[in-house]
Structure 1
């Protein structure tokens, strides 16, 4: 047993010192700091008094400019509006020379139909045309209300949004606010599970293949059993993943706490997570760990079947496709978690970590469904570990020219002979 802990510790310490681990951790931490401080980053590059754009206006109707200018100022004060004294040809030259960013031609037809034409260097800028459209819409509403003799109170009442109260009849059903917060949390955690399983499971397969290709495996197997060696690798890299995730979570949580009010305003209040039950976070940890062990065990014995490092990606491709499929199904399920397809796939072991967690986060499931999925997942992990240990035992001593699933039979024969 001492050799098991020795291999586990060696795997953990060797990997935590590698440049790839340090670089990916630092980059991820910087990325999370950037995301959680996005409002401050925008503010640092913005000057509130700086004019963003200059727009000239040709008012062919002779009565729309003042109202249009007033609405533009209310919508975006960084767009400077001027009444054009030149004709279109001269304004074209001003745009080409960079003196102004564009110009608007305002006109009105019969029945007070308002038309606008915006000309600029290119159509890549979408904010300005959108603001102009909004301003013209306000102009149209203002003129129309005056024509119909509507006062501001009547106008506000006419355009006030319809209030729709949503009531769920299911007992203990989640409120709309709880569902919105749950969707954000599930979305974030699905990405964590997805990238963690792909990255660390591939790392296990690569680690086993590296030792095998250098013939170090033959020396190790003579001193420690293949089963101990496999699970030492799995747990060692598992601890590595937890170390990285804990660092990321600590930094992200600290940054979120410092910027929560601003980020809540930007996200519409979905980042509070105050209404979510603690069980959601507990199940997130359970399904993450079970998903890791499921795919890590699979990756370990797949890595033991290859003789060259270059063949690892080819061998683990089916496993990667399973993870991608589970992620894509989960993304679909965010909008329709009660779909029969989502329910069925949540009990398929290789999809369970993501899809059952999705259902747990968004629906009020009876405990027996959650327990059944966890039981199926645990049973699959144990079965995979038993079969994987046998394949691993013969696989680490099997050297072939090209890896193939047909090699599994040969590997099992080597295990029986041993």
Structure 2
């Protein structure tokens, strides 16, 4: 057992001390803080001067009303009255105004607008101006109809509409939205973790094999201990890095809250109201799924002669992971469909798709237990086969990487066992 821990700790220490690990972790942390606080960063480097929009009011009555509607947007838009279109064009060409609006009066006495700019596709204020003018039109229409304020409020009041679930176990709409967000964050988390760290495991094995270090290691440590030592070593690396990322996300969101004075995304989602059981299931599906895929990645890595060949041999397994993620996306709107249900019992799809079903539907407990049983049985089978393939695969050199090498690796593993026996 001591040799297993030596391999595990050696793998862990080498990875967390490596420059690629440190640089990638630092860059990701910077990206997290940047994305979480992009609105504040944009203000620091951007131009806080509001867009100036020229207005030519041919009707002579709508400009003051438009100004009232634009007041809430005063930090983003400033309206400037312009006497004629020629002057407005000169102001735009000189960069004084972003564009100009011509307001006309229709035959019904309602406002109509024409917005002109050097390139209207690059003007972010057009929608705000259009919405403000729409409000002016609504006001004029209401006034012409002689409606009172109470009548207008009654007309625009939202319709009474209540949603009632007949099942007592059904989630409320708010709970469903919270679970929906959490489930998809966790699905993306599982997907990215398996893709990133699974490839790291395969690359680690391939690197040692290509440098012929493996031949030295085999003489002192059994291939099975090497394989699981590396897997658990990378698992520790993954947990270390993911813990740093999770802490960065939390700190970045709290920083955004303290700067803006508004509730952070964590407060808005109110994740504390989500049942603890969902977090427990998510952790179990992640751990079991990660270990299952890690075993497969290590097995395939042992068949590779050069690091450059990693991607070509891992492609089929990566496509399976992508397929599971795509089915999970489809299951967003159809979590109880036959396709999603059947796919959730396929071992390589179970971690992601079963998590989706657990979060989005009310599953019987026996189905959840069955999914864990399938994962545990699959891990046992994959670990047994993977250990044998690893034992023989690390001694295979020459030839292009192919899944056919699995058979050769198993045969070599049997021969090696006979020699040891």
TM-score (structure 1 length as normaliser):
0.93
Q: Which range moves more in the overlay, 135-144 or 360-369? A: 360-369
Secondary structure of 1:110's aligned partner:
coil
Partner of 1:89: 86
Partner of 1:274: 272
Partner of 1:166: 163
Given that 1:39 and 1:263 are in contact with CA atoms closer than 8 Å, whether structure 2 keeps it comes out as: no
Given that 2:257 and 2:264 are in contact with CA atoms closer than 8 Å, whether structure 1 keeps it comes out as: no
Q: CA–CA distance in 2 between the matches of 1:45 and 1:152?
A: 44
Shift, 1:296, TM fit: 0.5
Question: Cα RMSD between the aligned structures?
Answer: 2.1
Given that 1:260 and 1:271 are in contact with CA atoms closer than 8 Å, whether structure 2 keeps it comes out as: no
Q: 1:229-275, CA deviations, whole angstroms, 9 ceiling, x for partnerless residues? A: 11111000001101111222233334445555869757696421122
Secondary structure of 1:274's aligned partner:
helix
Q: CA–CA distance in 1 between the matches of 2:18 and 2:206?
A: 17
Partner of 1:14: 14
Unaligned runs of 5+ in 1: none
Of the candidates 225, 228, 243, which is equivalent to residue 228 of structure 1?
225
Secondary structure of 2:158's aligned partner:
coil
Of the candidates 174, 177, 181, which is equivalent to residue 178 of structure 2?
181
Q: CA–CA distance in 1 between the matches of 2:122 and 2:190?
A: 37
Secondary structure of 2:195's aligned partner:
helix
Q: CA–CA distance in 2 between the matches of 1:193 and 1:21?
A: 19
Partner of 1:128: 125
Q: Which range moves more in the overlay, 240-249 or 205-214? A: 240-249
Q: CA–CA distance in 1 between the matches of 2:402 and 2:55?
A: 70
Partner of 1:397: 395
Partner of 2:2: 2
Q: CA–CA distance in 2 between the matches of 1:263 and 1:211?
A: 52
Q: CA–CA distance in 2 between the matches of 1:268 and 1:392?
A: 44
TM-score (structure 2 length as normaliser):
0.93
Q: Which range moves more in the overlay, 211-220 or 155-164? A: 155-164
Partner of 1:25: 25
Q: CA–CA distance in 2 between the matches of 1:153 and 1:126?
A: 37
Given that 1:390 and 1:415 are in contact with CA atoms closer than 8 Å, whether structure 2 keeps it comes out as: yes
Aligned residues: 415
Given that 2:110 and 2:140 are in contact with CA atoms closer than 8 Å, whether structure 1 keeps it comes out as: no
Partner of 1:251: 248
When residues 257 and 300 of structure 1 are mapped into structure 2, their CA distance, relative to the original with a 3 A threshold, is same
Partner of 1:66: 64
Secondary structure of 1:336's aligned partner:
coil
Unaligned runs of 5+ in 2: 417-421
Q: CA–CA distance in 2 between the matches of 1:41 and 1:278?
A: 36
Given that 1:306 and 1:400 are in contact with CA atoms closer than 8 Å, whether structure 2 keeps it comes out as: no
Partner of 1:106: 103
Shift, 1:126, TM fit: 4.6
Q: CA–CA distance in 2 between the matches of 1:338 and 1:113?
A: 51
Of the candidates 291, 315, 335, which is equivalent to residue 293 of structure 1?
291
Given that 1:301 and 1:388 are in contact with CA atoms closer than 8 Å, whether structure 2 keeps it comes out as: yes
When residues 208 and 125 of structure 1 are mapped into structure 2, their CA distance, relative to the original with a 3 A threshold, is same
Secondary structure of 1:91's aligned partner:
helix
Q: CA–CA distance in 2 between the matches of 1:376 and 1:175?
A: 31
Shift, 1:375, TM fit: 0.9
Runs of 4+ in 1 over 4 A off after TM superposition: 42-47, 257-270
Secondary structure of 1:111's aligned partner:
coil
Given that 1:57 and 1:104 are in contact with CA atoms closer than 8 Å, whether structure 2 keeps it comes out as: yes
> Would you say 1:324 and 2:334 are equivalent positions?
no
> Would you say 1:53 and 2:51 are equivalent positions?
yes
